[in-house]
Amino acid sequence: MRRSVLERESDPGNKTYATASMEIEKKELRTAALSAMATLCAGPIRIQTESGVNLQFDVRRLITWIDSIFDTPSDKSHSIGRRALRNLILHNKDHPYLLERSIEMCYLCKSSKALESYFEVVTQVMTEREDYVLPFFKVLAAGLYALGNESNQIRMKSARILRILEERQHKNSKLQDLDISISDKTIAVYKAAQFEMSRRLAKQHSELAFFVFSEFSYYFNQLKPDQQRNLVAAMLPWVQIIELQVDPNGGPTANSWMLLVNLLEITIKNGTILHNEIQALWQALANGPHAGNVQLVLDFIISLCSDKREQNFVDYAKQIVVYLSNTLAGSKVVEFLLLKITPRAMAPEKREPIQVPSDCALFPYVADLTTILAAGSKQDQAREMLVHLIHELVISKIDDVGNATLNKEYIEDFIESIRQHSPKIVWAYDDANGKVDEDSDSRVPEAMQYVATEVVKIFSITHPTIREDWGKMTLNWATNCPVRHLACRSFQLFRCILSSLDQNMLGDMLARLSNTISDEDDEIITFSMEILTTLKTVIEALDNTDLIQYPQLFWTACACLQTIHEAEFSESLAILDKLLDKLDLGDPAVLKLLKENYPAQWEGAFEGLAELVYKGVKSSTCYDRTLKILEKLAALPQSELVGLDNVLLFTVLANLPRYLRVFEKDVKDPLALASADNVANIAEYKGYGDIAEALKSLVVMRYRTDKDFLTQLVAAIRTSFFPENDFKTLTFLMGLLLNKHSWIKIKTMQLLCVVIPDVDMKKPEPSRCLTIFLQYL
């Protein structure tokens, strides 16, 4: 419509005016539509029809829509967004999530403008509607946090809502005395007022201290360091008045447990960045009016140390002890620790695992110790079990094995390296943890490779089938374990062992791959990458004669090349590369066997390997490997599995950007010239003499300029492949423009300028491509 209006205008000035008018009208229409939608929000999001059917809007999509409105810089859009959110909240009292989520965004908003909008809606609803009830501590915590905001408008609204809500509680902390300080623009003034207001409220509402702290803890680790410091200022007065208590069994009560584990989590996750602030929190707990807090804290962390037996946690515990020792109760801390150092205390005792008090469910947030503490104790236990197994199953029986290839001294050295935690036998949780950007071809920690190799070598003395047995076990874990990390590590261990493969083992792997390839979830992608890497390693290890017994590997590679993820595509290319090295796709017998095993459930027509590989030129990551594979395919005879007789054409086109680049003075690329020589030989062998001559002249640098080279080569391409492939050529080159490498884009544009005159633009398809090309220009 816009184009038709502009075409009717002959005067350029009128065209400009018409364009501006349409933009204004479009903006006004968008605003009007937004306003209408906000008005429609003034109603229930769930209704029940006369027939008893429940109908409901998708609340998550509504929330996402409002978030997108608040992400815009427009004041008018924000006003409409606030009206929409307010309507949703007021007309859906049975959905308290809407208001609770708005309060949550008062902590987590990324932009100050969005924060102002959310906070304004919360304050309006809570002040105007007394019938809309939320737990007082939730609004109290959000208000105290907002008192430290840079915007004095937000601070003043926060102070006002705190006064109003406190009046409804029939209490008075005389907060109005601090209004002037709260509205002051000087940071030191309003920060001091924030602390004082928090102190007065903590004193007046001490029964809410644990709930307020739990609410703050819920958001603490989701905030940036500056925001966390603001939160600490609001938290400190509440921590100072808290009294920790023990239950009849001697452990901390639910209240005390919640505070200690939450504060411990904050310490572990932020102790380096917020050292002073976290020290202040622990010391506030010790310097308050309740002297017994110190002993309960010490009992708690010592009990955890004994239960977890994790050195990393002991380090954090020592830090907490240092914090407490610098308080008024510092001397008592030392006395307490000295009492613990007794002969009786040194004897190991069997302890029941620490249980989380059941009443903790009452709080908004309670940290999970199993997630915040590293599981290093399991690693130590695994080391000791390995040492025990070596002693029991190898060393104790080595004398019975007459032809033992390893002596006891060698094995004892390996055991000692385990006990000494030698770097060569230790790997961290994140080492080669299935990351798609790993450079290593096998994606296995070096330490894992070493340990697996040594274990197989040692256990083979008394158990000759250990490699095969262990390989089957690891692959069973890899394909059946629901814990992704363990499954991925099992695949890595299988690659280290690399035992023989049977059809059942391969079938399990391919079944898992079929359910995970092209998945959107990052964890699933990681899992798929492990399977692909394992298949690549298996193919590399198999002999050519053995590999042909697994034709499904070929079709698996073809299927995986249709993935939507770049990393999976790159690894699938690597698999195909290994297959092409080992399978002779020029052998009619091999082609016949592969065709006979064509998957019955394959969707669509199979157009050949080349068609699957072509899209790799669009990726800066896969470009080089794609060129390598295309050259291998171009050298093969034409067949249904390889592709049509134009594979050579697209191999030349894909390589042309780097061929043109060799004419630049600061670029030295011997691989490009080697590639040109190889492609020239292929072209000559297949009867394309003109193309071969042009490329061979490039190899010896006979051309003075890249333009001369391009003119001769494109003329040869025109003679051999046009007009049958002119549109395909244009489409292929347009795809090259998607590559992120700027030099590929530039060289492709240069090539297009020469090729386009040879394309019949009267056809509809090339004309559309030309429109896109002109946009690039």
Q: What is the model's pLDDT at position 272?
A: 86
What's the CA gap between 576 and 553, in Å, rounded? Answer: 9
What's the CA gap between 208 and 202, in Å, rounded? Answer: 8
Residue 420 or 184, more confident: 184
Q: What is the model's pLDDT at position 302?
A: 84
In the predicted structure, residue 23 carries a pLDDT above the cut 80: no
pLDDT digits (tens, 9 = 90+) for 469-488: 998 988 888 888 877 888 89
pLDDT digits (tens, 9 = 90+) for 292-316: 888 898 888 888 877 776 767 777 8
Q: How many distinct helices (H) and strands (E) make up the chain?
A: 39, 2
pLDDT digits (tens, 9 = 90+) for 339-350: 776 555 544 565
In the predicted structure, residue 19 carries a pLDDT above the cut 70: no
Least confident interval from 9-18, 148-157, 410-419? 9-18
Residue 655 banded pLDDT, cuts 50, 70, 90: very high
Residue 768 or 257, more confident: 257
pLDDT digits (tens, 9 = 90+) for 345-368: 544 565 666 778 888 888 999 998
Q: Decide if 109 contacts 120 (C-beta within 8 A).
A: no
Q: What is the model's pLDDT at position 374?
A: 56
In this structure, the number of other CB atoms found within 10 A of the CB of residue 746 comes to: 14
In the predicted structure, residue 404 carries a pLDDT above the cut 60: no
In this structure, the number of other CB atoms found within 10 A of the CB of residue 154 comes to: 20
Q: What is the model's pLDDT at position 238?
A: 95
Q: What is the model's pLDDT at position 202?
A: 93
Q: What is the model's pLDDT at position 192?
A: 94
In the predicted structure, residue 695 carries a pLDDT above the cut 90: yes
What average pLDDT score do residues 1-20 get?
Answer: 57
**Residues contacting residue 360 through CB under 8 Å, at least 6 positions apart:** 254, 257, 258, 366
Rounded to the nearest 5 percent, the helix, strand and coil shares of the chain are 70, 0, 30
Residue 492 banded pLDDT, cuts 50, 70, 90: very high
Residue 644 or 342, more confident: 644
In the predicted structure, residue 437 carries a pLDDT above the cut 60: no
Phi then psi for 369, rounded to 5 degrees?
-60, -30
Q: What is the model's pLDDT at position 380?
A: 64
The percent of residues in the chain predicted with pLDDT above 70, rounded, is 89
Residue 693 banded pLDDT, cuts 50, 70, 90: very high
In the predicted structure, residue 179 carries a pLDDT above the cut 60: yes
Residue 12 banded pLDDT, cuts 50, 70, 90: low
Least confident interval from 425-429, 603-607, 647-651? 425-429
Residue type, 754: V
Q: What is the model's pLDDT at position 395?
A: 86
What average pLDDT score do residues 140-159 get?
Answer: 93
* pLDDT, averaged across the chain: 86
Q: What is the model's pLDDT at position 141?
A: 94
Decide: residue 670, CB within 10 A, 0-12 exposed, 13-18 middle, 19+ buried: exposed
Is there a cis peptide before residue 96, judged by omega within 30 degrees of 0?
Answer: no
Q: Which two tokens stand for residue 751?
A: 């090539």
HSE-CB for 529 with a 13 A CA cutoff: 28
The percent of residues in the chain predicted with pLDDT above 90, rounded, is 47
Q: What is the model's pLDDT at position 769?
A: 53
Strand, coil or helix: 130: coil
What average pLDDT score do residues 618-624 get?
Answer: 93
